Structure 1
Amino acid sequence: MKQYIKADEWKIIEEGFVPSYNKISESIFSVGNGRMGQRGNFEETYTGETLQGNYIAGVYYPDKTRVGWWKNGYPEYFAKVLNAANWIGIRVQIDGEELDLHTCTVESFRRELNMQEGYLQRSFTATLPSGKQVAVTSTRFCSIVDDETGVISYSVTPLNFSGLLTITPFIDGDIKNQDSNYDEKFWDEISRDVHPSGAFITLRTKKTGFDVCSGMHFCVTQRGEQLDLPTEAITKEKFVGISCSLAVKANEETVIYKYAANLSSENHPREQLLSACEMQVNAIVAKGFDMMLQEQKEAWAAKWAESDIVIDGDVSAQQAIRFNIFQLNQTYTGEDARLNIGPKGFTGEKYGGSTYWDTEAYCVPFYLATADARVTKQLLLYRYNQLGKAIENAEKLGFNKGAALYPMVTINGEECHNEWEITFEEIHRNGAIAYAIYNYIRYTDDKSYMADYGLEVLIGIARFWNQRVNWSEARKQYVMLGVTGPNEYENNVNNNWYTNMLACWCMDYAIQSVQFVRESAPDKFRTLTHKLQFNDAEEIGKWQHIIDNMYLPVDEERGIFLQQDGFLDKEQILVKDLPADQRPINQKWSWDRILRSCFIKQADVLQGIFFFEENYDLDTIRRNFDFYEPRTVHESSLSPCVHAVLAAKLGDERRAYEFYLRTARLDLNDYNNDTEDGLHITSMAGTWMSIVHGFAGMRVQNDRLIFNPFIPGKWKAFSFNIAFRSAIINVQINKEGVHLINRSAKAVNITIEGKEYLLNAHTKLDIKTEKVNVEVV
């Protein structure tokens, strides 16, 4: 664990330059806008250890995965979100000497991510090998107003000399991914164009044929006046730049403004890509840096008004939750149903940048409560639009008659995960898709979604489970063989409780949904049954028989759900008894040893209880929690948040807070020694759940918002806004009680600690022990 980030409520601050931390900081200081993202790399040359990273949403490469032991049904490729052209580059030379913090003496250094206003600022003073000393300040952001653009202000001030400053703003498309095999590069150049103050380059991905045009314009100012300087075009393969030189004086600032755009053929006609990029660059140049920054601040203010969580009394916790919310809002905006949320977002290349079940299980609750319902609906439509591919994926594995198996990893609907035990076995992801539909409708009351889109997906998923189980003559029950549950430290197990339980729930929910659509939208139901060749009486009968006769492993003596057959045959060692030098086990142990151990990577049985806790009494939840958590090593970023919410449910405030801190500062403190690969974006939504579902105890049940809150000991109070069925509710929780403000024209039914209230439009509700005060606002 590292603790070099300074505490601040609204900023992420690094003071002093430690080269060994640079790749970690590049991840932490990433900026993005839902269309593009940029790691916290330096604009000037840096020859030290770095992961240069700029990523364009939806652009990927199908890396070959076929190997000697390839089997039928195995994915043909592993999709990679590609490192795209480096648009931030500004080469700086002083009297011919390169500015490079790897070769300079860094006298002072500060990197600051302003989360409130949405920009990254860096300042340093460095002494070059010649003894010349310069001060540099750079400010940059990816605009969330003009979401295909980014802009940079870069100032250079000589401190102990006068001389010749040469600057070369450039776009470099000659890049590769960190994990490229044999330094393979994935882009071909299509065209390039350079004129005195701007340059454009169009690149095309190999195999997939995505075109991306990157363009830039720059200007140089001194004393607030723009200079008219002679320039020289610099061009080479996949590279365009413009160089100019000017005399500089000691203590006189020179500012370079660089405006850039990245446009993809996914969003613009290929033949118009260059002209569209030129128009976009010209548009932001006309605005100017100051106007763009003001627009950025205003746009972020609107986002924070929706999604902020305010914590009084704990700066570290406040900084952490805002960092997580900031990165989530930078990653996904809901503007495009073709896009989704990769585990690393736009901050790194690990996991290929593709979509996992993380979105439905962890991210959907965040967007439901902090944004317009349209944003979450786009995430659901992403899966609906890929239903045909999910049916194809199932067919590759031998399923038929419209059975749908959604991929474990995808970017276009096809399965592209390159580990067989995940691709074939971790089929519980299907249940997360169904659960997201349930969660969306329960939360928004958008029942029309079921008839328009949801039921078709649910039928495909139910058909899959119907074919995936088999009847055991020995047990006289249905069983599910050869699966991997959420605990990926066990593969090819039989009767994983979570998977079996979830399969039953999916089929039951599909039955309920069939009945609902048949009654509420009969015309749509007839059209759908014809399209799907759905025999509701026959298929529902089979689903119900499976539900009624599914084997769900339990240990009667301990009163727990058994993670899978044979789990208790393992040697039962607790995590607390593991020597510290043996952890993390995924870096210290062989895979064979991990698979034979009882250690759990992340919530498995507890994931099911987390989803459906209303089905279990507190004693049942406590017995399972007390058995499984001590065996959980939490080596998945998705693990601590589930445990935080359940610990809060059980009134275990100490452990709830410990788990919150672990998930909240996972990247800021580099808990797992892997932040340099990119941030854990999807688990950040779990941080939000740890507070809102955990400490505030918020649930939606029977069309009501429910709260069962407590305050961690270090906190004085915390507050947040909740968007719920067209209402906006401000929730404030302090030592005296719960304070609610309805900022909308719609009344909301609310339950607090078991007592029911009606929060009328534009009213305030203060609840203190047995006293309720209602005040019109």
Structure 2
Amino acid sequence: MNQDYIKPDNWSIIEEGFDPEQVKSSESLFSLGNGAMGQRANFEERYTGSTFQGSYIAGVYYPDKTRVGWWKNGYPEYFAKVLNAPSWIGIDVEINGEVLDLNTCKSVSDFRRELNMKEGWYQRTFKATLPNGIQIDVNVLRFLSLVQDELGAIRYSVTPLNKAAEVVFKPYLDSGIKNEDSNWDDQFWNTTEVLSEGRQAFIEAHTMKTHFETCTFMDNLLFKGGEEQETEPELNQEPLKVTHSYAVRAEKGEAVQLVKFAGYTVSRNHKADALIQAAKETLSMARDKGFDQLLAEQADAWAKIWEMSDITIKGDQKAQQGIRFNIFHLNQTYLGTDSRLNIGPKGFTGEKYGGSTYWDTEAYCIPFYMATKDHHVARNLLQYRYNQLDKAIENAEKLGFENGAALYPMVTMNGEECHNEWEITFEEIHRNGAIAFAIYNYYRYTGDYSYIPEMGLEVLIGIARFWYQRATFSKFRNKYVILGVTGPNEYENNVNNNWYTNYTARWCIQYALEQIQKVKEGYPEDHGRIMGHTKLTAAELEGWSTVAENLYFPRSEEYNIYLQQDGFLDKELVTVEDLDRSNRPINQKWSWDRILRSPYIKQADVLQGFYFFEDHFTLDELERHFDFYEPFTVHESSLSPCVHSIQAAKLDRMDQAYQFYLRTSRLDLDDYNKEVEEGLHITSMAGTWMSVVEGFGGMRIRDDKLSFNPRIPEEWESYSFKINFRSRIITVNVTKSGSSFELEGAEEMSIRVNGKRLVLNSNAVTYA
């Protein structure tokens, strides 16, 4: 049974009623982020119940020494930890000397949380009776500013309900923080200064080993009856913590408030010796504007984001809530303004997985950012990989490859591989293909070819060299084979000739060869520079062609399908439907040995190839492969339902497409995988967007033009979305009776809808 305590709502995530069993899950679901930092929805006041504290700074990490039982040559030296940063949100509250703690209160009622996705804020309200008998009403509102991304703001209001009381607010900063997933219980942070100046306080700390310098800061304002109080705080300063205390008497029914401005300045953006000064400038701006103006600016900033990225669904509130939840968290995680950053699989919502970059970015996220933002945002994501090409070559060298062969990491912070499960680190090499595919996909969608001669061709050459060297000639088959790999289906390790890996390898080599020729003809200067740098020879290129033209693809003549890998048909082919439900999820119920011997597929594998390279296959071929592989797929990866939803829609199996859509859009809201307390599945959220736009909307690029084949689930009255295609904004609206398209731009453009040409006129609605 999935969790169902989140209330359906078009624009908000709402929880009503206090349940300690849901606290950690809600801390994930109600998380905030602004691209530069993030915060789980931990309580500001003290809470002695089960909780997972989490504050995060983009790009700041710690290289936690690898911990494995059996060291293998080539293992990464460290696993990059997404760091739990010094905490800035804390506000202990005392009422007549009694500490407010929802875990020890006599009663808690009217508890409500709301994450307002439309305006970008999080609010928590409740009534509580403390052990000393005092009843209070609490209202807390928090946001992380999009306008000033080093700043967070909290307004914490307390109203005594049954008698007058002395309320003491104790806002603090705390750098005595540890990660829950530390390998060795190392100290990740070294605190160098704890400073208090009037109502402001600062903690300077740097990460061990990586030496990211940070300043965590706060400034506090006290209000009574709406009037700011001039009370100076009492100071309690410790080696790793600084606390300010503000005492104020509140009459029965009278609200008193603490406004806390806080956040981080970081050496990634400022000189290390100027972090406190930068923090003071941020706090001065916050004080000048005040909480209400900052909150209004937050709403305006989110309005601009939603203007382009919103998807509206009429007639299905859960589906509407799900897609907006996904879009909201994608924008909280990455806004595209900094090419040094990327999209971690947990974003700012948890520590699991480590690293900030997986192949998820290229395979799932880039389409979302290309279509909902300026193309420079996606270009930044591609530039990120170009900037790390030297590290990718080093990664390959550690595994024995040479001559500039590049193996991009499965998990990384700075371009180095930092994932240390052998079946992933050494074998899940298909990730290289997603990098190359993203370059192709970016040009196909944006029409911006300049990335390839400037940066992308060198990436493609490094990847092609890797595939050329990774292939082995089999005399037995008289073909080139790729041995000892893990495909996208991580429930199969160390297999030979994973079809998706082999097919991607061939495509990467062929695409690199095409682009070398294209750059030679159209960009001779860039071609000369790249050839000189890479020292490519005609003989090497001929070798590439030989491998690509003679790669082996496992196939079953009986089923008339490509096999996921050699020996797949040796398995006991019991479908998921015939698997006892008590065995699910198999990753929690079965031994790894049993999983590896089973036919069960974690996520799209062969079907991932049919998604990427759909133009290479007929609809009949897709149908055969879908009908064979989907019944064995357990969808125990967050990346699985979206691909299947898109393909089911293409096959016009709308009931199935809709069920997959619900699963991907509400994966975390309904906690399908029973792990949401560890953090959200950020990168798969981009797949949810694709399920609507590419699945139901049928959006593709055909012959360098936009093409749509719209379908609508039975449960929906209508849906609409916008896309930015080559700097022209198109609004697509689909109902049960048909579809319409509206173009923003000075010139008309032609598209194809259901295979027919349709001309869109500027600022006019055109019906298909």
Q: Do they superpose with TM above 0.5?
A: yes
* AA partner of residue 241 (structure 1): T
Shift of 1:68: 4.8
* Farther off after superposition, 177-186 or 632-641: 177-186
TM-score normalised by L of structure 1: 0.98
Match of 1:169 in 2: 171
Alignment-mate amino acid for residue 608 of structure 1: G
* Alpha-carbon distance between aligned partners in 2 of 1:687 and 1:705, rounded to the nearest angstrom: 20
Q: Distance in 1 between matches of 2:503 and 2:675?
A: 33
- Aligned partner of 1:107 in structure 2 is 109
Structure 1 window deviating more from structure 2 (754-763 vs 447-456): it is 754-763
Q: What does residue range 220-299 of structure 1 map to in structure 2 within 5 Å?
A: 220-299=222-301
Matches of 1:288 and 1:399, distance apart in 2? 57
Partner of 2:79: 78
Instruction: Name the structure 1 match of 2:199.
Output: 197
Q: Give 2:731's aligned residue.
A: 730
C-alpha deviations, 1:595-617, integer Å up to 9, x for none? Answer: 01010000000000000111111
Match of 2:503 in 1: 501
**Shift in Å, 1:353:** 4.2
| 1:603 corresponds to | 604
Q: Distance in 1 between matches of 2:183 and 2:533?
A: 44
Q: What is the SS of the residue equivalent to 1:190?
A: strand
Deviation at 1:255, TM superposition (A): 1.2
TM superposition shift of 1:266: 1.1
Matches for 1:290-369 after TM superposition, within 5 Å? 290-369=292-371
Give the 5 Å matches for 1:17-96: 17-65=18-66, 67-96=68-97
Partner of 2:689: 688
**Where does structure 2 lack aligned partners over 5 or more consecutive residues?**
none
Q: How does 1:452-601 map to 2 (within 5 A)?
A: 452-535=454-537, 537-601=538-602
Counterpart in 2 of 1:771? none
SS of corresponding position for 1:58: coil
CA distance in 2, matches of 1:115, 1:289: 18
Report how far residue 183 of structure 1 moved: 4.3
Tell me: CA distance 1:576–1:723, structure 2 relative to 1, closer, same or farther (3 Å).
same
Deviations 1:534-563 (A, max 9, x none): 11x222211111121110111111111100
Q: C-alpha deviations, 1:591-638, integer Å up to 9, x for none?
A: 000001010000000000000111111110000000000000000000
CA contact (8 A) 1:196 1:232 kept: no
Residues 43-72 of structure 1: per-residue CA shift (max 9 Å, x gap): 111110000101000100001115452121
Please tell me the residue identity of whatever aligns with 2:374: D
**Deviation per CA, 1:567-587, whole angstroms, max 9, x where unpaired?**
000110100111111100000
SS of equivalent residue, structure 1 residue 188? strand
- Contact kept in structure 2, 1:177 and 1:185, CA below 8 Å: no
CA contact (8 A) 1:726 1:746 kept: no
Find the counterpart in structure 1 of residue 651 from structure 2. 650
SS at match of 1:83: coil
User: d(CA) in 2 for partners of 1:734 and 1:142?
Assistant: 37
Which residue of 174, 182, 188 maps to 1:180? 182
SS in structure 1 of the partner of residue 252 of structure 2: coil
Out of 385, 400, 409, the residue aligned to residue 411 of structure 2 is 409
Cα deviation code 1:164-223 (max 9, x no counterpart)? 111111111111111124644311111111122111101111111111101110111112
Query: Is the partner of 1:268 in helix, strand or coil?
Result: coil
How far residue 354 of structure 1 moved from its aligned partner, in angstroms, is 2.3
Correspondence 1:736-775 to 2 at 5 A: 736-767=737-768
- The one-letter code sitting in structure 1 at the alignment partner of 2:5 is Y
* Structure 2 CA distance for aligned equivalents of residues 208 and 386 of structure 1: 17
* Cα separation, 2, equivalents of 1:747 and 1:317: 33
Report 1:604-643 matches (<5 A): 604-643=605-644
Contact 1:480 1:495 in 2 (8 A): yes
Residues 196 and 233, structure 1, Cα contact 8 Å, conserved in 2 = no
Deviations 1:250-287, CA, capped at 9 Å, x for gaps: 10000111001201111111011111111111111211
Structure 2 equivalent of residue 426 of structure 1: 428
CA distance 1:61–1:585, change in 2 (3 Å): same
RMSD: 0.9
CA distance in structure 1 between the aligned counterparts of 2:575 and 2:326, rounded to whole angstroms:
31
In 1, the alpha carbon distance for the partners of 2:249 and 2:293 equals 29
Per-residue deviation, 1:121: 0.6
Distance 1:508 1:682 in 2: 28
2:387 to 376, 380, 385: 385
**In structure 2, what is the Cα distance between the partners aligned to 1:539 and 1:517?**
18
Percent same amino acid among aligned pairs? 59
Alignment partners' CA distance in 1, 2:466 and 2:186: 39
Preserved CA contact (<8 Å) 2:64 2:182? no
1:226 aligned partner, one-letter code: E
Q: CA deviation at 1:294?
A: 0.6
Contact map agreement 2:95 2:168 (CA 8 A) in 1: yes
Distance in 2 (CA, whole Å) between partners of 1:744 and 1:497 is: 43
Q: TM-score, normalised by structure 2?
A: 0.99
Question: Is the CA contact (8 Å cut-off) linking 2:64 and 2:183 kept in structure 1?
Answer: no
Do the aligned residues in 2 keep the contact of 1:261 with 1:281 (CA within 8 Å)? no
Q: What SS class does the counterpart of residue 403 from structure 1 fall into?
A: coil
Which of 135, 139, 142 aligns to 1:140? It is 142
Residue 218 of structure 2: aligned partner:
216
Check conservation: 1:261, 1:280, Cα contact below 8 A.
Answer: no
For the residue of structure 2 that corresponds to 1:623, the secondary structure is helix
Separation in structure 1 between the aligned mates of residue 332 and residue 119 of structure 2, nearest angstrom: 12
| Per-residue deviation, residues 315-358 of structure 1 (Å, max 9, x unmatched) | 11000000000000000011111100010000000001421100
Give the corresponding residue for 1:774. none
Equivalent residue, structure 1, for 2:709: 708
Alignment match, 1:663? 664
Q: Match of 1:671, SS?
A: coil
SS in 2 for 1:274: helix
Query: Which residue type is aligned with residue 63 of structure 1?
Result: D
Q: Distance in 2 between matches of 1:106 and 1:590?
A: 42
Unaligned runs of 5+ in 1: 768-777
Cα offsets for 1:624-653 (capped at 9, x unmatched) = 000000000000000000000000010110
Look up the equivalent residue of 2:749 and give its one-letter code.
V
Show CA shifts across 1:85-140 (max 9, x none).
11111110011100000111112200000000000011000000111100000111
Equivalent pair of 2:199/2:232 in contact (CA under 8 Å): no
| Aligned residue type for 1:217 | D
Residues 136, 353 of structure 1: CA spacing in aligned structure 2 closer, same or farther, 3 A cutoff?
farther
Q: Do the aligned partners of 2:607 and 2:626 also contact (CA within 8 Å) in 1?
A: yes
Taking the aligned partners of 2:732 and 2:499, their CA distance within structure 1 comes to: 36
SS at match of 2:143: strand
Q: Which residue of 2 aligns with 1:676?
A: 677
Q: CA deviation at 1:666?
A: 0.5
Tell me the secondary structure at the aligned position of residue 351 of structure 1. Answer: coil
